[in-house]
Amino acid sequence: MTTRQLRVDFHTHSRFAISTSPSLDIKTLSEAAKRKGLDVLTTGDFTHPVWRDELKDDLSESGDGLYVSAKGTHFILGTEISCVFKQNDRGRRVHVLVLVPDFRAADALSDRLGELARLESDGRPIIKISALNLALMVWDVDDRSVIIPAHVWTPWYGLLGSKSGFDSIEEAFGEYSDRIRAVESGLSSDPAMNWRIGELDDRAIVSFSDAHSPGTMGREFTVVTSDMTFDGLSAAIQGGGIVETVEFFPENGKYHLNGHRKCNVILEPDETPSDGRCPVCRRPLTLGVVQRIDDLAVRPTQVSMTAGGLIESPDSRPPFRRLVRLNEVLSEASGVGPNTKTVGRTADALVAELGSEFDMLLNASESDIEAASNERVAAAILAVRRGDVEITPGYDGQHGKVTITL
């Protein structure tokens, strides 16, 4: 089978996961993928019995381990599991992405997990099982299945997070850690931050959206070279075929710096009291991703940026670039809200003229963008590509804010 470059987003959800948009069915997911320019998505939430039935109705098998919707979007069967357990005397809460090659595996895994939790109550089920035992179960169901620790640095639910995670992949997975070949960097960290961690030197850093609505799909994604098969994509995202990742500005993420939202306290690691307590209320601060990576890092950040905005490592790991969502770019350029009609109309005109949102945001020429919209919009898109933005960092569950320098 022929290989080509594919944009993949393997952390998505359906309307059956808690706090997701009620519009998230296969038709909406497919339309959003087309509009954004994504080639392969996960179904998300396959352990949910109603959603899995719907997937069986709405998707047809397209080849080895992939499924295709009526609109022509390719899907891989995937889900996120929230593992809640105790290990080495500490309470752990860890989110893990699971990819399986067919409905037989999805059914078998759901049967086994259904003995531990009510799978119909949440598309991203909370299960009392260790991350290791979940992984062993997933591989037992089908040896080709993939386990990827999700948003690995978030204080709550990240495998390496400060609140309920581990200090290493080794600590979590023991003798099976070699089978963990990729981690999801999450919105609050970028690959450069992950390149500082020794244990991640020979592991892939992948980026996906964790979208809870059609508009946020692909806010991060991974570009791979692969054929359209489960095994091809599995090998690609686990290190064999990553071309680059496309990232949120990590400062924008909800857990970038340290702080306390209630007390309005936001601190860089070097401003944080050594006892880790809030200077206002004296309770423990929520330590963000920058602090956590500082604590576990074996080397400082080393990056360089090309003229085209590609951020590279000194030892030729897959590079990455940064992106702001189209509606937010247009909102900045026009001075009106991202969900207004003005922004919607400009976005539609750009997509009609220049292809998908990502083709336009990443590749279209300044003059083509200007012709399809106006000078300010073109300047804003070019500024994002160069990284000319000002950012108020996120902390303690509060999103950061990106302002484009115009």
Nearest-approach distance from CB 373 to Zn ion, in angstroms? 35
How many angstroms separate the CA atoms of 142 and 108, rounded? 9
How many angstroms separate the CA atoms of 60 and 279, rounded? 57
Q: Please identify the residue of the shown chain whose CB is closest to the bound Zn ion.
A: 278
Stretch of 43-51, 200-208, 214-222, 263-271 lying at the interface with Zn ion (CB under 5 A)? 263-271
Work out which of 68, 126, 263, 391 binds Zn ion, going by CB under 5 A. 263
CA-wise closest residue to 102 among 57, 150, 132, 61: 61
The total of other beta-carbon atoms located within 10 Å of residue 212's CB is 18
Residue 204 contacts residue 305 (beta carbons within 8 Å): no
Count of residues binding Zn ion (CB under 5 A)?
Answer: 7
Comparison of 37 and 218: residue with beta carbon closer to Zn ion: 218
Work out which of 278, 350, 362, 372 binds Zn ion, going by CB under 5 A. 278
Stretch of 145-153, 179-187, 356-364, 377-385 lying at the interface with Zn ion (CB under 5 A)? 145-153
Nearest-approach distance from CB 260 to Zn ion, in angstroms? 3
Q: Under the criterion CB under 5 A, does residue 281 sit at the interface with Zn ion?
A: yes
Q: Under the criterion CB under 5 A, does residue 68 sit at the interface with Zn ion?
A: no
Q: Under the criterion CB under 5 A, does residue 95 sit at the interface with Zn ion?
A: yes
Distances 254 to 331, 337, 365, 393, 397 between C-alpha atoms, Å? 21, 21, 32, 8, 5
Q: Retrieve residue 201's tokens.
A: 């030197």
Work out which of 196, 212, 260, 322 binds Zn ion, going by CB under 5 A. 260
Residue 193 DSSP SS3:
helix
257: Cβ contacts below 8 Å, ≥ 6 apart? 251, 266, 267, 268, 269, 288, 290, 291, 393, 394, 395
Q: Under the criterion CB under 5 A, does residue 147 sit at the interface with Zn ion?
A: no
Stretch of 91-99, 107-115, 295-303, 352-360 lying at the interface with Zn ion (CB under 5 A)? 91-99
How many angstroms separate the CA atoms of 272 and 276, rounded? 6
- Determine the residue type at 68: V
Which parts of 281-379 are beta strand (E)?
A: 304-305, 311-312, 320-322
- Per-residue binding letters, 150-189, with Zn ion (x by CB under 5 A): x---------------------------------------
Residue 321 contacts residue 385 (beta carbons within 8 Å): yes
Work out which of 18, 70, 280, 371 binds Zn ion, going by CB under 5 A. 280
Q: Under the criterion CB under 5 A, does residue 406 sit at the interface with Zn ion?
A: no
Element (H, E) at 9: strand 4-9
Comparison of 11 and 325: residue with beta carbon closer to Zn ion: 11
Q: Under the criterion CB under 5 A, does residue 303 sit at the interface with Zn ion?
A: no
Q: Under the criterion CB under 5 A, does residue 298 sit at the interface with Zn ion?
A: no
Q: Retrieve residue 294's tokens.
A: 């500082």
Binding site for Zn ion (CB under 5 A): 95, 150, 260, 263, 278, 280-281
